[in-house]
């Protein structure tokens, strides 16, 4: 018997950075993300007949999900989360757990969010069915998932997700609910500093003092700009927000940076595009070198022009193809 679940990645435009409670992944500030339905993780659980405990395996014959290998540390974090759910649901059987994504992991594309959300869904379904109970409501699944990876709780909600403290909910912003998400892949190498380390290190930055206030102020401004269809202000706020998060990384006690020379090239391409056309994409970066851009549906011609820029010629650009009603 096996249980399969998929979950989308989500990219924060107002970032979760810094924890109030490390054990339970309660954030210091509220965050707002867009859910990207075509960048997904898949998890499959099957009952293990032996009593040797849970184990992880990659997908080897599952097309786009094949070929994602978790390091030993990643496997143990993933299996620990399965153990946490089993414990929470009072289940003592063992599973073989397989997982993969249709995009690179550890490169700032939120693979931990989608993979922990997929695992949580598959585990809850499996255990509830094996115990003959009712599957938990989405809010409870999101709360369980948050314990494994904070930002994964947002992957249960779409098109936008607002996460504040221990609560997450969907938000909708009219025409901005159907954004097209492009990722300029400047590197598919896994990042050297994990987001857990980043959450701790940022607190040592001199810029951290007012970080929560800045994030909360931008969140209010961003919601207002999204509600009033003010795309240029949305762009400016999102740019200021990711630059703020990356400035914390650059100014903490053991400074580090995810931004490479190639990231800067991609960012410059986006700013010069805005200057030339007076219009352009929303831009953000996560904890990785890659650059995320988001377009409105009516910008499809601009999006094609942008993808063909000579400055981006050396990079792979991937699209979620999330136009119009394709959801
Ligand atoms: O959920 P975590 O612990 O992987 O943290 C995610 C942190 C960022 O991706 C950098 C920002 C965010 O809000 O997703």
Q: Closest ligand 1 atom to the C-alpha of 194?
A: 4
Does residue 120 share a domain with residue 20?
A: yes
The C-alpha angle with vertex 215 and arms to 241 and 32, in degrees rounded to 5, equals 80
Q: Which residues pair with 180 in a beta bridge?
A: 295
Question: Quick check: 156 and 34 in contact, CB under 8 A?
Answer: no
Q: How far is the CA of 48 from the centre of ligand 1 (A)?
A: 32
Among 119, 148, 171, residue at a domain's last position: 171
Give the torsion through C-alpha atoms of 207, 208, 213, 217, to 10 deg: 60
| DSSP strand pairing (31-47 vs 2-14) | antiparallel
Please, what is the angle between helix 300-307 and helix 261-277, to 10°?
Answer: 140
Residue 13 lies in a domain: yes
Does residue 163 share a domain with residue 26?
A: yes
Q: How far is the CA of 131 from the centre of ligand 1 (A)?
A: 33
pLDDT score of 70: 81
Does residue 164 share a domain with residue 88?
A: yes
Q: How far is the CA of 139 from the centre of ligand 1 (A)?
A: 19
Does residue 270 share a domain with residue 131?
A: no
Residue 70: phi and psi, rounded to 5, are -90, 140
Q: Closest ligand 1 atom to the C-alpha of 14?
A: 13
Q: Which CATH number belongs to the domain containing residue 227 in this structure?
A: 3.30.70.890
Residue 326 lies in a domain: no
Residue 314 lies in a domain: yes
- With b meaning 16 or more CB within 10 Å and e meaning fewer, what string describes 10-33? bbbbbbbbbbeeeeebebbbbbbb
Q: How far is the CA of 93 from the centre of ligand 1 (A)?
A: 31
Range of the domain at 76: 2-171
Among 113, 136, 171, residue at a domain's last position: 171
Does residue 296 share a domain with residue 190?
A: yes
Does residue 156 share a domain with residue 48?
A: yes
Residue 271 lies in a domain: yes
Residues of the chain with pLDDT under 50: 322-327
Q: Closest ligand 1 atom to the C-alpha of 10?
A: 14
Q: How far apart are CA 130 and CA 31, in angstroms?
A: 35
By most ligand atoms within 8 Å of CB, the mutation choice from 7, 8, 9, 12 for ligand 1 is 12
Does residue 105 share a domain with residue 203?
A: no
Q: How far is the CA of 17 from the centre of ligand 1 (A)?
A: 7
Total number of domains constituting the chain: 2
Q: How far is the CA of 100 from the centre of ligand 1 (A)?
A: 19
Q: How far is the CA of 286 from the centre of ligand 1 (A)?
A: 7
Does residue 193 share a domain with residue 144?
A: no
Q: How far apart are CA 128 and CA 248, in angstroms?
A: 42
Residue 325 lies in a domain: no
Residue 216 lies in a domain: yes
Residue 161 lies in a domain: yes
Q: How far apart are CA 281 and CA 232, in angstroms?
A: 9
CB within 6 Å of ligand 1 — which residues?
12, 15-17, 31, 112, 149-151, 195-196, 286-287
pLDDT score of 108: 65
Does residue 205 share a domain with residue 110?
A: no
Supply the residue whose CA is at minimum distance from atom 6 of ligand 1: 151
Q: How far is the CA of 73 from the centre of ligand 1 (A)?
A: 18
Per-residue CA distances from 18 to 22, 25, 41, 196, 199 (Å)? 9, 9, 25, 9, 5
Please, what is the angle between helix 72-88 and helix 138-148, to 10°?
Answer: 140
By most ligand atoms within 8 Å of CB, the mutation choice from 25, 286, 292 for ligand 1 is 286
Task: Annotate the chain with three-state secondary structure.
Answer: CEEEEEEEEEEEEECCCCEEECCCCEECCCEEEEEEEEEEEEEEEEECCCCCCCEEEECCCCHHHCCCCCCHHHHHHHHHHHHHHHHHCCCCCCEEEEEEECCCCCCCCCHHHHHHHHHHHHHHHHHHHHCCCCCCCHHHHHHHHHHHCHHHHHHHCCCEEEEECCEEEEECCHHHHHCEEEEEECCCCCCCCCHHHHHHHHHHCHHHHHHHHHHHHHHHHHHHHHHCCCHHHHHHHHHHHHHHHHHHHHCCCCCCCCCCHHHHHHHHHHHHHHHHHCCCCEEEECCCCCEEEEECHHHHHHHHHHHCCHHHCCCEEEECCCCCCCC
Among 128, 147, 171, residue at a domain's last position: 171
Does residue 241 share a domain with residue 164?
A: no
Q: Which CATH number belongs to the domain containing residue 44 in this structure?
A: 3.30.230.10
Does residue 299 share a domain with residue 154?
A: no
Does residue 191 share a domain with residue 90?
A: no
Residue 50 lies in a domain: yes
By most ligand atoms within 8 Å of CB, the mutation choice from 7, 9, 17 for ligand 1 is 17
């Amino acid at each position: 018997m096996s249980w399969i679940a998929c979950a989308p990645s989500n990219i924060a435009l107002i970032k979760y950075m810094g924890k109030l409670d490390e054990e339970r992944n309660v954030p210091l500030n509220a965050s707002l993300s867009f859910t990207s339905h075509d960048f997904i993780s898949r998890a499959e659980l099957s009952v293990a007949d032996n009593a040797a405990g849970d184990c992880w395996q990659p997908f080897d014959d599952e097309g786009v999900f094949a070929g994602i290998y978790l390091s030993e540390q990643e496997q143990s974090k993933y299996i620990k989360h399965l153990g946490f759910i089993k414990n929470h649901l009072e289940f003592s059987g063992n599973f073989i757990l397989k997982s993969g994504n249709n995009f690179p992991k550890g490169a700032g594309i939120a693979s931990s969010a989608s993979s922990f959300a997929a695992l949580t869904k598959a585990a809850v379904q499996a255990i509830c069915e094996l115990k003959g109970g009712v599957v938990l409501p989405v809010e409870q699944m999101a709360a369980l998932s948050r314990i494994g990876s904070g930002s994964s709780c947002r992957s249960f909600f779409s098109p936008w997700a607002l996460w504040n403290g221990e609560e997450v909910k969907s938000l909708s912003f009219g025409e901005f609910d159907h954004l097209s998400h492009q990722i300029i892949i400047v590197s598919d190498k896994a990042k050297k500093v994990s987001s857990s380390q980043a959450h701790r290190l940022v607190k040592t930055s001199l810029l951290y003092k007012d970080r929560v206030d800045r994030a909360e102020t931008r969140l209010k401004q961003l919601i207002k700009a999204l509600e009033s269809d003010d795309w240029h202000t949305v762009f400016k706020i999102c740019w200021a927000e990711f630059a703020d998060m990356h400035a914390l990384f650059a100014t903490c006690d053991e400074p580090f940076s995810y931004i490479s020379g190639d990231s800067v090239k991609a960012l410059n391409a986006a700013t010069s595009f805005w200057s030339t056309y007076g219009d352009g994409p929303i831009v953000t970066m996560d904890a990785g070198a890659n650059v995320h851009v988001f377009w409105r549906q009516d910008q499809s011609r601009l999006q094609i022009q942008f993808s063909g820029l000579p400055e981006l010629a050396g990079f792979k650009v991937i699209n979620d193809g999330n136009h119009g009603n394709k959801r």
